[in-house]
Amino acid sequence: MTESNHASGDDAQRGEFLYWQGRYRIGLAALVAGTALLLRALGLISGQSIAVSWLGEDGTTQAFGASAVAYILLIVALRWRLGMRRQASRRLVGAVLVADVAVVYVCALLLTPPAEFDRTLIISVFLVQFTQLYFGWRTTLFQLATVAVCYSTLIALARKAGMLAAPGEALWTFALFCVGSLTYAWVLGHQGTRMRRLTRLFDRAREGDFDQSYDDQHDEFPDHITEIGRAYNQLRGHLETIILTDPLSGCFNRRGFEQFSAREVARGVRAKWRLAVLALDVDHFKQINDEFGHLTGDEAIKEIGALLRDTARAGDVVARSGGEEFSILAPDTDEVGAMHLADRILQAFRTRAFISVRGQMPITISIGVASDEAGGTEEIVRTLTARADEALYVAKRNGRDQAVLWQTGMRAFELSGARLSREMERLR
Protein backbone atom coordinates (compact mmCIF):
# COMPACT_ATOMS: atom_id res chain seq x y z
CA MET A 1 0.00 0.00 0.00
CA THR A 2 1.39 3.42 -0.97
CA GLU A 3 1.76 6.25 1.53
CA SER A 4 -1.02 8.26 -0.15
CA ASN A 5 -3.41 5.28 -0.01
CA HIS A 6 -2.58 4.75 3.65
CA ALA A 7 -3.27 8.43 4.41
CA SER A 8 -6.54 8.26 2.51
CA GLY A 9 -7.55 5.18 4.52
CA ASP A 10 -6.79 7.00 7.80
CA ASP A 11 -8.86 10.01 6.66
CA ALA A 12 -11.77 7.72 5.83
CA GLN A 13 -11.57 6.02 9.22
CA ARG A 14 -11.45 9.35 11.06
CA GLY A 15 -14.37 10.58 8.96
CA GLU A 16 -16.43 7.52 9.86
CA PHE A 17 -15.71 8.01 13.58
CA LEU A 18 -16.61 11.69 13.53
CA TYR A 19 -19.78 11.06 11.53
CA TRP A 20 -21.41 8.62 13.93
CA GLN A 21 -20.07 10.43 17.00
CA GLY A 22 -21.68 13.65 15.76
CA ARG A 23 -25.16 12.26 16.39
CA TYR A 24 -24.30 11.59 20.02
CA ARG A 25 -22.61 14.99 20.40
CA ILE A 26 -25.78 16.70 19.25
CA GLY A 27 -28.02 14.61 21.51
CA LEU A 28 -25.77 15.03 24.56
CA ALA A 29 -25.39 18.79 24.04
CA ALA A 30 -29.16 19.24 23.67
CA LEU A 31 -29.83 17.13 26.79
CA VAL A 32 -27.26 18.92 28.97
CA ALA A 33 -28.31 22.38 27.75
CA GLY A 34 -31.99 21.69 28.28
CA THR A 35 -31.43 20.21 31.74
CA ALA A 36 -29.18 23.10 32.80
CA LEU A 37 -31.65 25.73 31.64
CA LEU A 38 -34.50 23.93 33.41
CA LEU A 39 -32.59 23.64 36.69
CA ARG A 40 -31.52 27.26 36.42
CA ALA A 41 -35.13 28.34 35.87
CA LEU A 42 -36.15 26.35 38.96
CA GLY A 43 -33.38 27.98 40.98
CA LEU A 44 -31.61 24.70 41.62
CA ILE A 45 -28.31 25.86 40.08
CA SER A 46 -26.27 28.42 41.97
CA GLY A 47 -25.90 31.75 40.21
CA GLN A 48 -22.45 32.49 41.62
CA SER A 49 -20.52 31.98 38.38
CA ILE A 50 -17.92 34.37 36.96
CA ALA A 51 -20.16 35.28 34.02
CA VAL A 52 -23.03 36.35 36.31
CA SER A 53 -20.85 39.12 37.73
CA TRP A 54 -20.19 40.32 34.18
CA LEU A 55 -23.46 39.72 32.34
CA GLY A 56 -26.08 39.32 35.02
CA GLU A 57 -28.50 36.42 35.37
CA ASP A 58 -30.43 36.99 32.15
CA GLY A 59 -27.36 37.74 30.08
CA THR A 60 -25.63 34.61 31.37
CA THR A 61 -28.63 32.45 30.53
CA GLN A 62 -28.79 33.90 27.03
CA ALA A 63 -25.05 33.40 26.54
CA PHE A 64 -25.32 29.79 27.68
CA GLY A 65 -28.20 29.10 25.28
CA ALA A 66 -26.34 30.76 22.42
CA SER A 67 -23.20 28.69 23.15
CA ALA A 68 -25.17 25.44 23.14
CA VAL A 69 -26.96 26.33 19.89
CA ALA A 70 -23.70 27.38 18.22
CA TYR A 71 -22.05 24.09 19.20
CA ILE A 72 -25.01 22.02 17.96
CA LEU A 73 -25.08 23.91 14.64
CA LEU A 74 -21.34 23.33 14.26
CA ILE A 75 -21.77 19.58 14.69
CA VAL A 76 -24.78 19.52 12.35
CA ALA A 77 -22.66 21.25 9.69
CA LEU A 78 -19.85 18.77 10.33
CA ARG A 79 -22.18 15.79 9.85
CA TRP A 80 -23.53 17.31 6.65
CA ARG A 81 -20.01 17.76 5.35
CA LEU A 82 -19.01 14.22 6.33
CA GLY A 83 -22.20 12.88 4.79
CA MET A 84 -21.05 14.32 1.47
CA ARG A 85 -17.45 13.17 1.83
CA ARG A 86 -16.65 10.63 4.55
CA GLN A 87 -13.10 11.77 5.13
CA ALA A 88 -11.57 13.87 7.90
CA SER A 89 -8.04 15.20 8.20
CA ARG A 90 -6.19 15.42 11.50
CA ARG A 91 -6.78 19.18 11.48
CA LEU A 92 -10.54 18.71 11.21
CA VAL A 93 -10.49 16.18 14.07
CA GLY A 94 -8.42 18.62 16.12
CA ALA A 95 -10.89 21.43 15.44
CA VAL A 96 -13.83 19.30 16.59
CA LEU A 97 -12.03 18.24 19.75
CA VAL A 98 -11.13 21.87 20.53
CA ALA A 99 -14.83 22.71 20.13
CA ASP A 100 -15.73 19.88 22.55
CA VAL A 101 -13.35 21.19 25.21
CA ALA A 102 -14.21 24.83 24.58
CA VAL A 103 -17.96 24.35 25.02
CA VAL A 104 -17.38 22.52 28.32
CA TYR A 105 -15.27 25.32 29.75
CA VAL A 106 -17.44 28.12 28.36
CA CYS A 107 -20.41 26.48 30.08
CA ALA A 108 -18.38 26.23 33.29
CA LEU A 109 -17.55 29.93 33.00
CA LEU A 110 -21.23 30.72 32.54
CA LEU A 111 -22.89 28.43 35.09
CA THR A 112 -20.39 26.91 37.54
CA PRO A 113 -19.12 28.58 40.74
CA PRO A 114 -15.27 28.70 40.75
CA ALA A 115 -15.18 26.46 43.81
CA GLU A 116 -16.78 23.72 41.69
CA PHE A 117 -14.49 23.97 38.65
CA ASP A 118 -13.28 20.45 39.42
CA ARG A 119 -16.46 19.27 37.70
CA THR A 120 -14.96 20.22 34.35
CA LEU A 121 -12.11 17.78 34.95
CA ILE A 122 -14.59 14.92 35.41
CA ILE A 123 -16.05 15.65 31.99
CA SER A 124 -12.56 16.14 30.55
CA VAL A 125 -11.57 12.63 31.71
CA PHE A 126 -14.19 11.15 29.41
CA LEU A 127 -13.19 13.43 26.53
CA VAL A 128 -9.53 12.44 26.78
CA GLN A 129 -10.26 8.72 27.05
CA PHE A 130 -12.65 8.67 24.09
CA THR A 131 -10.07 10.56 22.06
CA GLN A 132 -7.42 7.98 22.89
CA LEU A 133 -9.80 5.16 22.05
CA TYR A 134 -10.64 6.44 18.56
CA PHE A 135 -7.88 8.83 17.45
CA GLY A 136 -4.60 7.74 19.06
CA TRP A 137 -1.87 9.21 21.19
CA ARG A 138 -0.96 12.32 19.21
CA THR A 139 -4.52 13.59 19.16
CA THR A 140 -4.98 12.68 22.84
CA LEU A 141 -1.95 14.75 23.88
CA PHE A 142 -3.25 17.63 21.76
CA GLN A 143 -6.63 17.49 23.50
CA LEU A 144 -5.00 17.23 26.91
CA ALA A 145 -3.02 20.38 26.08
CA THR A 146 -6.29 22.07 25.07
CA VAL A 147 -7.83 21.09 28.41
CA ALA A 148 -4.76 22.49 30.20
CA VAL A 149 -5.08 25.84 28.41
CA CYS A 150 -8.83 26.09 29.05
CA TYR A 151 -8.64 25.03 32.70
CA SER A 152 -5.70 27.34 33.43
CA THR A 153 -7.57 30.21 31.78
CA LEU A 154 -10.63 29.46 33.90
CA ILE A 155 -8.56 29.47 37.10
CA ALA A 156 -6.82 32.70 36.09
CA LEU A 157 -10.16 34.43 35.42
CA ALA A 158 -11.57 33.24 38.75
CA ARG A 159 -8.49 34.49 40.59
CA LYS A 160 -8.65 37.85 38.83
CA ALA A 161 -12.29 38.17 39.80
CA GLY A 162 -11.38 37.38 43.42
CA MET A 163 -13.69 34.35 43.44
CA LEU A 164 -11.11 31.62 44.06
CA ALA A 165 -9.32 31.59 47.37
CA ALA A 166 -6.72 28.87 46.67
CA PRO A 167 -5.85 28.64 42.95
CA GLY A 168 -2.80 26.53 43.80
CA GLU A 169 -5.05 23.77 45.11
CA ALA A 170 -7.04 23.83 41.88
CA LEU A 171 -3.85 23.48 39.84
CA TRP A 172 -2.72 20.61 42.05
CA THR A 173 -6.05 18.90 41.35
CA PHE A 174 -5.42 19.45 37.66
CA ALA A 175 -1.97 17.83 37.95
CA LEU A 176 -3.56 14.74 39.50
CA PHE A 177 -6.10 14.76 36.67
CA CYS A 178 -3.28 14.76 34.11
CA VAL A 179 -1.50 11.83 35.78
CA GLY A 180 -4.68 9.78 35.98
CA SER A 181 -5.77 10.62 32.44
CA LEU A 182 -2.38 9.81 30.93
CA THR A 183 -2.16 6.53 32.83
CA TYR A 184 -5.58 5.39 31.70
CA ALA A 185 -4.93 6.63 28.16
CA TRP A 186 -1.73 4.58 28.11
CA VAL A 187 -3.67 1.49 29.16
CA LEU A 188 -6.22 2.08 26.39
CA GLY A 189 -3.45 2.74 23.88
CA HIS A 190 -1.64 -0.46 24.86
CA GLN A 191 -4.84 -2.44 24.47
CA GLY A 192 -5.49 -0.79 21.12
CA THR A 193 -2.01 -1.76 19.90
CA ARG A 194 -2.59 -5.38 20.87
CA MET A 195 -6.03 -5.39 19.23
CA ARG A 196 -4.47 -4.09 16.03
CA ARG A 197 -1.93 -6.92 16.22
CA LEU A 198 -4.81 -9.37 16.41
CA THR A 199 -6.62 -7.65 13.54
CA ARG A 200 -3.53 -7.96 11.36
CA LEU A 201 -3.30 -11.66 12.21
CA PHE A 202 -6.90 -12.19 11.13
CA ASP A 203 -6.31 -10.13 7.98
CA ARG A 204 -3.34 -12.33 7.11
CA ALA A 205 -5.38 -15.45 7.90
CA ARG A 206 -8.10 -14.26 5.53
CA GLU A 207 -5.44 -14.14 2.81
CA GLY A 208 -4.31 -17.65 3.73
CA ASP A 209 -1.15 -16.59 5.60
CA PHE A 210 -0.77 -18.37 8.94
CA ASP A 211 2.97 -17.85 9.43
CA GLN A 212 2.58 -15.61 12.47
CA SER A 213 0.97 -16.40 15.79
CA TYR A 214 -0.13 -14.14 18.64
CA ASP A 215 2.87 -13.62 20.93
CA ASP A 216 1.39 -13.68 24.42
CA GLN A 217 4.86 -13.57 26.01
CA HIS A 218 4.74 -9.77 25.71
CA ASP A 219 1.49 -9.61 27.70
CA GLU A 220 2.89 -8.96 31.15
CA PHE A 221 -0.62 -8.75 32.59
CA PRO A 222 -2.79 -11.26 30.68
CA ASP A 223 -6.38 -10.17 30.09
CA HIS A 224 -9.28 -10.86 27.71
CA ILE A 225 -7.22 -9.76 24.70
CA THR A 226 -4.60 -12.33 25.66
CA GLU A 227 -7.32 -14.98 25.82
CA ILE A 228 -8.48 -14.07 22.31
CA GLY A 229 -4.89 -14.27 21.05
CA ARG A 230 -4.39 -17.69 22.61
CA ALA A 231 -7.69 -18.87 21.14
CA TYR A 232 -6.47 -17.74 17.71
CA ASN A 233 -3.25 -19.68 18.19
CA GLN A 234 -5.24 -22.81 19.05
CA LEU A 235 -7.42 -22.41 15.96
CA ARG A 236 -4.55 -21.44 13.71
CA GLY A 237 -3.63 -24.98 12.67
CA HIS A 238 -7.25 -25.92 12.02
CA LEU A 239 -7.85 -22.75 9.99
CA GLU A 240 -4.74 -23.39 7.93
CA THR A 241 -5.94 -26.90 7.13
CA ILE A 242 -9.42 -25.73 6.20
CA ILE A 243 -8.35 -22.80 4.03
CA LEU A 244 -5.17 -24.07 2.39
CA THR A 245 -5.76 -27.82 2.03
CA ASP A 246 -7.75 -29.77 -0.55
CA PRO A 247 -10.07 -31.95 1.58
CA LEU A 248 -10.11 -34.86 -0.87
CA SER A 249 -6.44 -35.41 -1.64
CA GLY A 250 -4.99 -33.99 1.57
CA CYS A 251 -2.58 -31.88 -0.51
CA PHE A 252 -2.54 -28.11 -0.65
CA ASN A 253 -5.16 -26.45 -2.82
CA ARG A 254 -4.42 -23.67 -5.31
CA ARG A 255 -4.46 -21.04 -2.61
CA GLY A 256 -2.13 -23.04 -0.42
CA PHE A 257 0.19 -23.68 -3.35
CA GLU A 258 0.38 -19.96 -4.13
CA GLN A 259 0.90 -19.07 -0.47
CA PHE A 260 3.74 -21.49 0.15
CA SER A 261 5.25 -20.88 -3.27
CA ALA A 262 5.55 -17.17 -2.51
CA ARG A 263 7.40 -18.03 0.70
CA GLU A 264 9.78 -20.42 -1.06
CA VAL A 265 10.46 -17.92 -3.85
CA ALA A 266 11.38 -15.27 -1.25
CA ARG A 267 13.76 -17.74 0.41
CA GLY A 268 15.13 -18.77 -2.96
CA VAL A 269 15.88 -15.19 -3.98
CA ARG A 270 17.84 -14.63 -0.76
CA ALA A 271 19.74 -17.93 -1.07
CA LYS A 272 20.09 -17.72 -4.89
CA TRP A 273 18.39 -21.10 -5.32
CA ARG A 274 17.01 -22.70 -8.41
CA LEU A 275 13.37 -23.70 -8.21
CA ALA A 276 11.59 -26.48 -10.02
CA VAL A 277 7.91 -27.02 -10.75
CA LEU A 278 6.44 -30.39 -11.68
CA ALA A 279 3.04 -30.52 -13.41
CA LEU A 280 1.45 -33.95 -12.96
CA ASP A 281 -1.63 -35.46 -14.57
CA VAL A 282 -3.04 -38.94 -13.86
CA ASP A 283 -3.25 -41.02 -17.04
CA HIS A 284 -6.68 -42.27 -18.19
CA PHE A 285 -8.39 -41.05 -15.04
CA LYS A 286 -11.69 -40.78 -16.91
CA GLN A 287 -11.53 -44.54 -17.41
CA ILE A 288 -11.44 -45.05 -13.64
CA ASN A 289 -14.60 -42.97 -13.21
CA ASP A 290 -16.33 -44.72 -16.11
CA GLU A 291 -15.51 -48.29 -15.04
CA PHE A 292 -15.58 -48.01 -11.24
CA GLY A 293 -17.70 -44.91 -10.58
CA HIS A 294 -16.95 -41.48 -9.19
CA LEU A 295 -16.77 -42.65 -5.58
CA THR A 296 -13.91 -44.95 -6.57
CA GLY A 297 -12.38 -42.03 -8.46
CA ASP A 298 -12.47 -39.97 -5.25
CA GLU A 299 -10.80 -42.81 -3.33
CA ALA A 300 -8.14 -42.98 -6.03
CA ILE A 301 -7.48 -39.23 -5.66
CA LYS A 302 -7.00 -39.76 -1.91
CA GLU A 303 -4.47 -42.53 -2.56
CA ILE A 304 -2.69 -40.49 -5.23
CA GLY A 305 -2.43 -37.47 -2.95
CA ALA A 306 -1.00 -39.58 -0.13
CA LEU A 307 1.48 -41.24 -2.50
CA LEU A 308 2.71 -37.91 -3.85
CA ARG A 309 3.17 -36.49 -0.36
CA ASP A 310 5.06 -39.60 0.76
CA THR A 311 7.29 -39.59 -2.33
CA ALA A 312 8.07 -35.87 -2.38
CA ARG A 313 10.83 -34.49 -0.21
CA ALA A 314 10.23 -32.78 3.12
CA GLY A 315 10.52 -29.23 1.75
CA ASP A 316 8.47 -29.79 -1.41
CA VAL A 317 5.04 -28.17 -1.82
CA VAL A 318 2.51 -30.69 -3.16
CA ALA A 319 -0.86 -29.38 -4.35
CA ARG A 320 -3.90 -30.58 -6.20
CA SER A 321 -4.53 -28.00 -8.90
CA GLY A 322 -7.82 -29.48 -10.13
CA GLY A 323 -9.47 -32.77 -11.03
CA GLU A 324 -6.69 -35.31 -11.52
CA GLU A 325 -4.03 -32.61 -11.90
CA PHE A 326 -1.33 -31.97 -9.31
CA SER A 327 1.63 -29.63 -8.94
CA ILE A 328 4.85 -29.87 -6.97
CA LEU A 329 7.16 -26.96 -6.16
CA ALA A 330 10.66 -28.21 -5.39
CA PRO A 331 12.87 -25.57 -3.70
CA ASP A 332 16.65 -25.56 -4.22
CA THR A 333 16.31 -27.96 -7.14
CA ASP A 334 17.89 -27.81 -10.58
CA GLU A 335 16.90 -29.73 -13.71
CA VAL A 336 18.81 -32.87 -12.67
CA GLY A 337 17.27 -32.93 -9.20
CA ALA A 338 13.80 -32.25 -10.57
CA MET A 339 14.05 -35.10 -13.10
CA HIS A 340 15.31 -37.40 -10.35
CA LEU A 341 12.24 -36.50 -8.27
CA ALA A 342 9.97 -37.08 -11.28
CA ASP A 343 11.53 -40.51 -11.94
CA ARG A 344 11.02 -41.46 -8.29
CA ILE A 345 7.33 -40.50 -8.55
CA LEU A 346 6.91 -42.46 -11.78
CA GLN A 347 8.45 -45.53 -10.18
CA ALA A 348 6.27 -45.16 -7.08
CA PHE A 349 3.14 -45.21 -9.27
CA ARG A 350 4.35 -48.15 -11.35
CA THR A 351 4.97 -50.31 -8.31
CA ARG A 352 1.88 -49.30 -6.34
CA ALA A 353 -1.19 -51.56 -6.27
CA PHE A 354 -3.96 -49.06 -5.68
CA ILE A 355 -6.58 -50.30 -3.23
CA SER A 356 -9.26 -48.01 -4.67
CA VAL A 357 -9.35 -49.93 -8.00
CA ARG A 358 -8.75 -53.25 -6.18
CA GLY A 359 -5.58 -53.82 -8.23
CA GLN A 360 -7.64 -54.40 -11.38
CA MET A 361 -5.86 -51.69 -13.38
CA PRO A 362 -2.58 -49.82 -13.05
CA ILE A 363 -2.59 -46.09 -12.36
CA THR A 364 0.22 -44.14 -13.98
CA ILE A 365 1.05 -40.48 -14.18
CA SER A 366 2.61 -38.08 -16.71
CA ILE A 367 4.92 -35.31 -15.55
CA GLY A 368 6.15 -32.05 -17.02
CA VAL A 369 9.25 -30.53 -15.40
CA ALA A 370 10.69 -26.99 -15.48
CA SER A 371 13.45 -25.33 -13.46
CA ASP A 372 15.00 -21.87 -13.27
CA GLU A 373 16.68 -19.43 -10.89
CA ALA A 374 14.39 -18.03 -8.20
CA GLY A 375 15.59 -14.49 -8.78
CA GLY A 376 14.85 -14.49 -12.48
CA THR A 377 11.42 -12.83 -12.14
CA GLU A 378 8.78 -12.13 -9.51
CA GLU A 379 6.43 -14.35 -11.55
CA ILE A 380 8.87 -17.25 -11.56
CA VAL A 381 6.35 -19.81 -10.25
CA ARG A 382 3.76 -18.83 -12.83
CA THR A 383 6.39 -19.00 -15.58
CA LEU A 384 7.67 -22.39 -14.43
CA THR A 385 4.11 -23.71 -14.16
CA ALA A 386 3.38 -22.68 -17.75
CA ARG A 387 6.58 -24.36 -18.92
CA ALA A 388 5.86 -27.50 -16.92
CA ASP A 389 2.37 -27.63 -18.48
CA GLU A 390 3.95 -27.51 -21.95
CA ALA A 391 6.32 -30.33 -21.03
CA LEU A 392 3.37 -32.29 -19.56
CA TYR A 393 1.51 -31.99 -22.86
CA VAL A 394 4.55 -33.40 -24.66
CA ALA A 395 4.72 -36.27 -22.16
CA LYS A 396 1.05 -37.06 -22.80
CA ARG A 397 1.47 -36.85 -26.54
CA ASN A 398 4.53 -39.12 -26.47
CA GLY A 399 2.73 -41.98 -24.75
CA ARG A 400 2.11 -41.00 -21.10
CA ASP A 401 3.71 -42.62 -18.01
CA GLN A 402 6.86 -40.52 -18.45
CA ALA A 403 8.50 -37.26 -17.42
CA VAL A 404 9.58 -34.59 -19.89
CA LEU A 405 11.90 -31.67 -19.08
CA TRP A 406 10.99 -28.34 -20.62
CA GLN A 407 13.54 -27.09 -23.10
CA THR A 408 13.99 -23.69 -24.69
CA GLY A 409 12.02 -23.56 -27.92
CA MET A 410 9.42 -26.09 -26.78
CA ARG A 411 6.08 -24.93 -28.17
CA ALA A 412 3.46 -27.41 -27.15
CA PHE A 413 0.67 -24.85 -26.93
CA GLU A 414 0.56 -23.47 -30.42
CA LEU A 415 -2.92 -24.95 -30.92
CA SER A 416 -5.97 -22.72 -30.56
CA GLY A 417 -7.72 -22.68 -27.19
CA ALA A 418 -10.68 -24.90 -28.15
CA ARG A 419 -8.55 -27.32 -30.13
CA LEU A 420 -6.00 -27.54 -27.34
CA SER A 421 -8.73 -28.30 -24.77
CA ARG A 422 -10.05 -31.13 -26.94
CA GLU A 423 -6.54 -32.49 -27.48
CA MET A 424 -5.70 -32.44 -23.77
CA GLU A 425 -9.01 -34.16 -22.97
CA ARG A 426 -8.24 -36.83 -25.53
CA LEU A 427 -4.76 -37.43 -24.15
CA ARG A 428 -6.07 -37.89 -20.60
| Three-state secondary structure string covering 285-313 | HHHHHHHHCHHHHHHHHHHHHHHHHHHCC
pLDDT at 414: 53
Among candidate residues 45, 68, 69, the one with its CA nearest the CA of residue 57 = 45
CB 164 within 8 Å of CB 118? no
Residue pLDDT, tens place only, 117-148: 888 888 888 888 888 888 888 898 899 999 99
Below-70 pLDDT ranges, the chain? 1-8, 45-47, 208, 375-378, 411-428
Residues 6+ apart with CB under 8 A from 237: 210
CB 271 within 8 Å of CB 383? no
Q: What angle do CA 325, 327, 329 make, to 5 degrees?
A: 180
pLDDT at 415: 47
pLDDT at 412: 56
Domain ranges of the chain: 3-165, 173-241, 245-427
pTM: 0.57
Strand residues in 225-331 grouped as ranges (E): 274-282, 317-322, 325-330
pLDDT at 150: 92
Residues 6+ apart with CB under 8 A from 343: 403
pLDDT at 374: 78
Q: 245-427: what fold?
A: Alpha-Beta Plaits (3.30.70)
